[in-house]
Amino acid sequence: MKKRILPLKTLLRACPVCLNTSEGFVLHTQSFILPEGHLLAEAKQYDIVSCCACGFVYADTPVKQKTYDKYYADMSKYEMRYSVIESARYASQAKTISTIVRDKNVSVMDVGAGNGGLLLAMKKLGYKNLTALDPSEKCVKNMLKNGIKAQTGSVFRHKVREKFDLVILSHVMEHLVDVDKALSALIAMTADKGVLYVEVPDAAMYAENHVVPFYFFDTEHINHFEEVSLINLGFRHGLRAFHLGRNQIQVSETTKYPVIHIAYKRDGAVTDWRKASGNKILKYIALSNKGSASQLVIDDLIKKNKEILIWGAGNFTMRMLNNSNLSKCDIIGFVDKDPKKHGTKILHKRVYPADHVKKISPETIIVVCAAVFSEQILKELKAMKVKNEVVVLK
C-alpha cells in the first residue's frame, strides 16, 4: 500500500502531551455548521493533527481553555438526569476502579463528576469518603441532595485544599485544551502515595467502533488519547502508569463506545518515551471518508421538495449540515430534547422541544439526525402517535 504523505502545518495549539509548539501533520480537517451565537464559534473548523515530536493526535483548535470553561459551565448537557444505560455504565466503571484501589476507606475525589453517577456507584460498593468537583451549579446541587460532598469548580479553578488517596478524572481529559495545567492540578490534589485514575475514549479503537462518519471528531472532544500518549503524558509529569485497561461502554441501546483507563502513581515514572503512531486514527479517518448511505436519502429529500423538521441538534447534525446537501433541504426547524438548545437557531431556523412535532403540517417530513439515539427517537415518535413521514439519517 502506498503511504500517503501528510501535509505539515504550524500548530495553533501546543501539543497537549509533549508541549511541542512547532509543527504537526494534518490528518483531517473537520467542519461544522454551529448554532448561531454558539460559544465555540471558533471551533467551526479545525484540523486533526499528529504532533511531529510525540505522535499524539489532537484537534488543533484556536479555542482557548477559558472559552471552554464558560461553555461547560453554561451549556452542560450533563445536568440532565442519567438513564438506566448510564447507571449500568457507572456500575461497571466503579467495579473496575474497585479492582485497582481495593481499600473502601480511601478518600476519593471525582473531578468533573457531572451528576455524581460514578461516585454513587462507588458508594454502593462500600466507598465512604466521596468528594466531587463540577463546574455546573445544578450538578453540584443534585449531588449534595444525594449525600456527596460536592463543590462547584473545575480542575483549573477550585477551592479544594485537601489531598485525596484516589483522584478520578473520567471522560474529562479529552475535553481539555490545557491538559498540562490540568495534570499538574490533579497531581497537587493527589496524596503522596495516592492514585490518579484517568478514563478517556480509546482513539486506537475508533475504527472498530464505527458509528457514523467522523462521530469521534466533535466540538467537545479535542484530544484523542491512545495507550502510548497516556503513558508519555504521565512520564513527563513523573507519574508511573501501573494499570492500563480497555473497555467498551454502552452509550445507547445499540451503540458501544471504546474507552481506555490508566492508573498512575506518583512514585516516579520508569517508562521510556515512545512515539505514538497515530496509524489507527488514520484508519478511522479513511473509514469515515467512505461516507455514509445518507447522501442518497438526502438527495431523495431534495427531490421531494417538501418541508423537513430535523430531530437532533447535536454534533451529527452540525457535521451533516456542513458535509452533505442536508442544508439544501427546506428545513423549517429543529427539535432537540436538551432544554439548553431550545430557542437557539441553526441556519436561522429555531430549535424546539420534542412536542413541536405535534404542531407541524402532516406534509412535513421528520428527519431523525442523531448518531446513537435514532432508535430511541423513533420509539418516542411512535409513542407520540405522530403520523408524519419519518426518515432516518445514519
Residues that bind Zn ion (CB under 5 A): 15, 17-18, 20, 51, 53-54, 56
| Smallest distance from Zn ion to CB 19, Å | 7
Map 268-311 to HEC letters.
Answer: CCCCCCCCCCCHHHHHHHHHHHCCCCHHHHHHHHHHHCCEEEEE
User: Under a CB-based contact definition with an 8 Å cutoff, are residues 58 and 224 in contact?
Assistant: yes
| Smallest distance from Zn ion to CB 53, Å | 5
| Smallest distance from Zn ion to CB 14, Å | 8
Residue 54 or 189: the one with the smaller Cβ distance to Zn ion is: 54
Residue 56 or 284: the one with the smaller Cβ distance to Zn ion is: 56
| Smallest distance from Zn ion to CB 224, Å | 12
Residues written for the chain: 394
Q: Which residues lie below 8 Å from residue 3, measured CB to CB, with a gap of 6+?
A: none
Residue 275 or 283: the one with the smaller Cβ distance to Zn ion is: 275
Using CA atoms, how far apart are residues 363 and 161, in angstroms rounded to an integer?
Answer: 60
Within 297-385, strands assigned E span 307-311, 330-335, 345-346, 349-352, 365-369
Residue 15 or 122: the one with the smaller Cβ distance to Zn ion is: 15
| Smallest distance from Zn ion to CB 168, Å | 25
Using CA atoms, how far apart are residues 9 and 123, in angstroms rounded to an integer?
Answer: 48
Residue 77 or 275: the one with the smaller Cβ distance to Zn ion is: 275
User: Under a CB-based contact definition with an 8 Å cutoff, are residues 159 and 151 in contact?
Assistant: yes
Using CA atoms, how far apart are residues 143 and 190, in angstroms rounded to an integer?
Answer: 22
Place of cell 515530536: 53
| Smallest distance from Zn ion to CB 175, Å | 18
| Smallest distance from Zn ion to CB 276, Å | 8
Residue 274 or 350: the one with the smaller Cβ distance to Zn ion is: 274
Residue 56 or 334: the one with the smaller Cβ distance to Zn ion is: 56
Query: What is the three-class DSSP state of 144?
Result: helix
